[in-house]
């Protein structure tokens, strides 16, 4: 098992102390992203509304594989380095990732930093509570500690190390399809973070023309189930209860399958589940299906289940 960096969850008070600390430079990273059926524009909001002082904006729809037909797929290794460098971030910086919706797109961005080898990655849990207790800035962004726009020449891990991280943490369509067709998916837990109605084919997908339903053998775990009434991550004990009550899965016992796969609509909220499971047991092997339902529904239309089958 490759020991890639882990994302560290921080509550609002710890995050505030980190921002005030005299230690290594801390760069707040706003990773807000909205669903395609929303009229909101996260980048425009970043320039006009509230944010943590000194933030830079990380655009999931820009820092991605630009040759893929599927949205915000993970970018080539060196493209990530180039785009992070444009933000002025350096490899030794501490990055504090958040999104202004609370816990939604931030986990995906934080995990992406860790996947590409950034060692000090923190995720704020979460921003809406943070701004109730601590000052934030409004209006035009102030200068960031990272001096946004001044390329830092960011250079992360080498390609060999990245490839190891990628193979241990990401599953691609062909491999997942082989597991489904060969009926080997029973060796894994595949959790789908979309709403139950989308999972069962009862509600439309937010992307026009895309069928709803689910992959044969997948389990429905809407990401809201791992968050509390305030939108923050549930405690470890509460998370254990969710999996025990919904799936009969006892995380206090050794895992009875080879590992876990998480997915959603486009690979964003899947990472909410990933970090929830890591909170229970950081040693569980977890892979993210990056293309998620948007890719599956287009490439495997004959392998779609609707209802409770």
Chain centroid to Cα 91, Å, comes to 20
CB contact at 8 A, 170 and 271: no
Instruction: Rounding to the nearest 10 degrees, give the CA dihedral for residues 82, 172, 125, 60.
Output: 40
CB contact at 8 A, 129 and 168: no
CB neighbour list of residue 288: distance below 8 Å, 6 or more residues apart: 111, 169, 170, 171, 261, 262, 263, 267, 270, 271, 274
- First-to-final CA distance of the chain: 34
CB neighbour list of residue 131: distance below 8 Å, 6 or more residues apart: 50
The position carrying tokens 């293309």 is 291
The position carrying tokens 């760069």 is 27
Bridge partners (DSSP) of residue 97 are 29, 123
CB neighbour list of residue 8: distance below 8 Å, 6 or more residues apart: 121, 122, 123
Per annotation, catalytic residue among 15, 121, 264, 288: 264
**Is-catalytic flag, 264?**
yes
Question: What are the two backbone dihedrals, phi and then psi, of residue 64, each rounded to the nearest 5 degrees?
Answer: -155, 175
Bridge partners (DSSP) of residue 70 are none
Active-site annotation, residues: 264
């Amino acid at each position: 098992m490759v020991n890639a960096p882990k994302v560290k969850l921080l509550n609002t008070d710890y995050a505030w102390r980190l921002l005030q600390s005299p230690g290594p430079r801390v760069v707040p990273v706003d990773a807000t992203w909205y669903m395609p059926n929303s009229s909101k524009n996260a980048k425009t909001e970043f320039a006009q509304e509230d944010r943590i002082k000194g933030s830079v904006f990380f655009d999931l729809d820009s820092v991605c594989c630009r040759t893929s037909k599927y949205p915000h797929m993970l970018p080539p290794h060196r493209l990530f380095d180039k785009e992070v460098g444009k933000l002025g971030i350096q490899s030794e910086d501490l990055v504090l990732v958040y999104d202004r919706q609370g816990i939604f797109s931030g986990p995906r961005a934080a995990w992406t930093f860790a996947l590409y080898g950034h060692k000090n990655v923190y995720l704020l849990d979460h921003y809406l509570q943070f701004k109730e207790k601590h000052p934030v800035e409004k209006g035009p962004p102030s200068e960031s500690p990272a001096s946004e726009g001044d390329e830092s020449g960011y250079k992360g891990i080498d390609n060999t190390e990245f490839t190891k991280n990628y193979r241990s943490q990401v599953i691609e369509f062909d491999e997942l399809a082989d597991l489904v067709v060969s009926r080997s998916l029973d060796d894994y837990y595949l959790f789908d973070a979309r709403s139950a109605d989308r999972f069962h084919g009862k509600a439309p997908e937010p992307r026009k023309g895309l069928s709803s339903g689910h992959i044969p053998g997948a389990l429905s775990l809407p990401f809201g189930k791992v968050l509390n009434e305030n939108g923050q991550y549930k405690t470890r004990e509460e998370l254990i209860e969710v999996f025990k009550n919904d799936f009969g899965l006892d995380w206090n016992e050794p895992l009875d399958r080879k590992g876990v796969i998480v997915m959603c609509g486009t690979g964003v909220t899947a990472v909410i589940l990933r970090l929830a499971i890591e909170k229970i047991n950081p040693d569980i092997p977890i892979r993210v299906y990056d293309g998620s339902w948007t890719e599956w529904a287009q490439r495997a239309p004959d392998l779609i289940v609707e209802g409770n089958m």
